[in-house]
Amino acid sequence: MIDDLMMMMMMMMMMMMMMMMMMMMMMMMMMMMMMMMMMMMMMMMMMMMMMMMMMMMMMMMMMMMMMMMMMMMMMMMMMMMMMMMMMMMMMMMMMMMMMMMMMMMMMMMMMMMMMMKEFNRIENIVMFHKLYHTLTLNS
């Protein structure tokens, strides 16, 4: 009887131990799983962060490029404007010069005309004198 009891007790103990072991194992497994999950999550998060950072960087780069392009465009425009202005100025100067030349020519012409007139008048007077003399001499 005692032996039986002892045996039963032993069996029970064994069973308990086994159960405990099993439980422990399960717990361990669970823990491991949890850890793995956590790690995975962390990794994912990290990846996401990295991706975000990359995206941000790309965006920044793009923005910078755009800005640069804009600046370049502005510069080009300015240059063009300057060139245009210069051209206009040159044209104006040329026009002015032409006008001046024309004026000078006109003046010269006028002077010439005046001179010619004067000359003509003198010539007339001389001719008249000659005529007068010849007439008087003949008479």
The pTM assigned to this predicted structure is 0.33
Q: What percent of the chain has pLDDT over 70?
A: 99
For residues 121 and 119, give the distance between their C-alpha atoms in angstroms, rounded to a whole number. Answer: 5
DSSP characters over 4-41: HHHHHHHHHHHHHHHHHHHHHHHHHHHHHHHHHHHHHH
pLDDT at position 56, please? 92
Is the per-residue pLDDT at 21 higher than 80?
Answer: yes
For residues 24 and 28, give the distance between their C-alpha atoms in angstroms, rounded to a whole number. Answer: 6
Q: What is the pLDDT of residues 53-100, one digit of tens each?
A: 999 999 999 999 999 999 999 999 999 999 999 999 999 999 999 999
- Break the chain down into helix, strand, coil percent, rounded to 5: 100, 0, 0
pLDDT at position 139, please? 61
- The 3-state DSSP class for residue 122 equals helix
